């Protein structure tokens, strides 16, 4: 995936240059704003760049649709690629903003093995000996950091659109970006609602409700929307967009199902989050819904009592993990992942897109659903 590696390098360069320019504006206002600039850069350094890559290969899929198998899909910096780099970088900024806000909502202490944004600001408060509550300052400052990243994301997205020749492509990409932001906000609300509203809903509905959260909080914005935005920049037809939707949505579902397994069983040294973090946060995932369906009433009551307790002990985490494993829910989720990947690949094989991009998207499909972090 040499093209992907080169594109990721271009993304990092674009983000760094963009932050440099905006940091100078912040510091010109007041030196006290320098942590906003520094923490922004930290949160956008490295990462898997999945959203950027799906945007790029969505663009390539349409741009090279008439190529013969084996033709080189390589591109060089400048021209249309600059627009894709800016737009894909904007998606990475949006993702970073979502993570900052998500960690606030979930009261998470860590992100990618380092302190989460609100914990960084809280630590800064304590180190400087400022007055008032460090926790309150951390919450307020991190909220504003997330908002700042959202503002920059929109600004960078618009810069990319100005580099796009076709007015129709600009309209299509902007419409998908706007819908993506609405969907993920709705999905995030549904996620936190399920943590407090599940008890008032029929048990039989909980799996469907958990699947709805997956679609709107993660699947669309992680894979489907980046694909469609990139394809739109290349002037995709309705048929091409529909084909990429049929590929992107089931793959996005599989991606989040893998994430749910990692949130319960992942190795903290690899994921950068404490093992069992989703259990402490009380996430009502598909994994939990399947577990509740399978276990007897006593085990279900224990699961419901412990799930969402932020002070779960390592022993209690292990007990919950054992309950989930013994219920057969892990195997069911693995089958769901496999089935969704198979549906995605079938749609990809039938899509009217470039052969080189098809091969790269197939490889990405494996990468995002078999990852350990």
- Each residue of 262-290: pLDDT tens digit? 999 988 888 777 888 899 999 999 999 99
Which of 43-47, 247-251, 364-368 is predicted with the least confidence, judged by mean pLDDT?
43-47
DSSP strand E in the chain: where?
A: 110-111, 114-115
Give the sign of the dihedral formed by CA 97, CA 100, CA 102, CA 105: negative
3-state helix, strand, coil in the chain (%, to 5): 80, 0, 20
Helices (H) and strands (E) in the chain, counts: 17, 2
* In the block, residue with structure tokens 């990429």: 244
Global pTM? Answer: 0.94
pLDDT at residue number 160: 95
Using one digit for the tens of pLDDT, what is the confidence trace for 232-267?
Answer: 999 999 999 999 999 999 999 999 999 999 999 988
Q: Are 299 and 290 in contact (CB under 8 A)?
A: no
Average pLDDT for 176-189: 97
pLDDT at residue number 69: 60
| Share of residues in the chain with pLDDT > 70 (%) | 97
pLDDT at residue number 72: 46
Confidence of residue 347 (pLDDT cuts 50, 70, 90): very high
pLDDT at residue number 78: 52
| Share of residues in the chain with pLDDT > 90 (%) | 84
Confidence of residue 47 (pLDDT cuts 50, 70, 90): confident
Using one digit for the tens of pLDDT, what is the confidence trace for 199-241?
Answer: 878 888 999 999 999 999 999 999 999 999 999 999 999 999 9
Structural domains in the chain? 1-47+78-165 (1.10.600.10), 167-372 (1.10.600.10)
């Amino acid at each position: 995936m040499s093209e992907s590696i080169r594109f990721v390098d271009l993304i990092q360069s674009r983000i760094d240059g963009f932050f440099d320019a905006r940091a100078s504006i912040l510091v010109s206002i007041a030196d006290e704003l320098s942590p906003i600039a520094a923490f922004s850069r930290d949160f956008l350094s490295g990462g898997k760049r999945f959203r950027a890559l799906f945007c790029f290969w969505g663009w390539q899929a349409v741009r090279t649709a008439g190529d013969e198998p084996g033709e080189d899909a390589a591109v060089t910096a400048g021209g249309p690629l600059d627009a894709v780099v800016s737009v894909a970088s904007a998606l990475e900024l949006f993702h970073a903003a979502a993570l900052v806000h998500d960690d606030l909502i979930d009261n998470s202490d860590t992100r990618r093995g380092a302190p989460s944004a609100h914990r960084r600001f809280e630590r800064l408060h304590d180190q400087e000996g400022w007055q008032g509550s460090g926790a309150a300052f951390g919450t307020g400052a991190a909220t504003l950091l997330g908002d700042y990243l959202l503002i920059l994301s929109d600004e960078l997205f618009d810069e990319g659109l100005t580099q796009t020749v076709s007015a129709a492509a600009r309209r299509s990409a902007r419409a998908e970006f706007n819908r993506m932001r609405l969907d993920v906000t709705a999905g995030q609300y549904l996620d936190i609602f399920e943590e407090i509203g599940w008890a008032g809903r029929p048990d039989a509905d909980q799996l469907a409700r958990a699947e709805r959260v997956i679609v709107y909080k993660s699947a669309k914005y992680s894979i489907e929307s980046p694909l469609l935005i990139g394809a739109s920049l290349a002037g995709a037809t309705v048929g091409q967009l529909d084909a990429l939707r049929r590929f992107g949505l089931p793959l996005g579902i599989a991606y989040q199902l893998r994430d749910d397994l990692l949130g319960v069983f992942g190795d903290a040294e690899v994921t950068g989050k404490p093992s069992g973090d989703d259990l402490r946060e009380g996430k009502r995932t598909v994994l939990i819904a399947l577990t509740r369906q399978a276990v007897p009433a006593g085990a279900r009551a224990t699961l419901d009592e412990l799930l969402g307790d932020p002070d779960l002990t390592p022993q209690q985490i292990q007990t919950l993990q054992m309950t989930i494993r013994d219920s057969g829910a892990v195997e069911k989720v693995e089958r769901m992942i496999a089935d969704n990947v198979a549906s995605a690949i079938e749609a990809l094989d039938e899509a009217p897109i470039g052969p080189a991009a098809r091969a790269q998207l197939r490889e990405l499909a494996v990468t995002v659903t078999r990852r350990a972090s």
